[in-house]
Amino acid sequence: MDRVALITGASQGLGAVLAAFLGGQGYHLVITARRADGLKAETDRLAALGITVTALPGDVADPAHRAKLVEAARGLGRLDVLVNNASELGPTPMPNLVDFDLEALRRVLEVNLVAPIALVQAALPLLKDSGGLVINISSDAALGGYETWGGYGASKAALDLASKTLANELENDGVAVISVDPGDMRTEMARMAFSPEEMAERPLPDITLPFWAWALGQEPMSISGRRFQAQEDLWEAQS
């Protein structure tokens, strides 16, 4: 049976790693990112896997773009995995929360919290039909209370709670929802927040592949409602 995954923020970093991993497992893909050039490069690379790749550049905060993504998945016949990976860091240098521009904060919340919930809402009929899995990408900033990370961390903390709530609400519909903290990685977003010396110590996103191989090999409802840490010895976050 053909399977289909929709991945946001898929032009680089973790999103690109997940697209290549799922494509290698035979999933047909709908991928999106804001940068059209980066998305095209990933599309060319993924096409070598012999799968169907639909690439739609755009902003997940745009309702019309979200509708196009879901329609593209519908055109492929189903949706088995939805990965909400696209994220907004906010202003850099990163301000203290008491100094955070409120319009910029609204943008962070719109991309990191509202858009993932909206994509679940829009894709819900397809996810119900396939018994699908929603993966919301979180961060250790959701728990840390780190100085200057308040806007981003608050959005990810809210996404964690939304993930757990959605998992409870959708249990009877057979739709699973998890949140995953991928851990520190060498990504473009991290380069906006950390020094070159700090970046040099961080692993590439590929370090998370053992976790993804395990998680995507599970029966989705058996892991629903849980929060995972992809680089920890114990993958499930301890409460």
Closest CA to 193 of 39, 74, 89: 89
User: Is 152 designated active site?
Assistant: yes
Residue for token digits 């249990």? 171
Packing angle, helices 115-130 and 150-169, rounded to 10: 30
211 Cβ partners below 8 Å, 6+ apart?
Answer: 180, 228, 230, 231, 235
Gap between the Cα atoms of 92 and 96, Å rounded:
11
Q: How far is C-alpha 14 from the geometric centre of its chain's CA atoms?
A: 8
Question: Which among 152, 211, 212, 235 is annotated as catalytic?
Answer: 152
What are the catalytic residues? 152
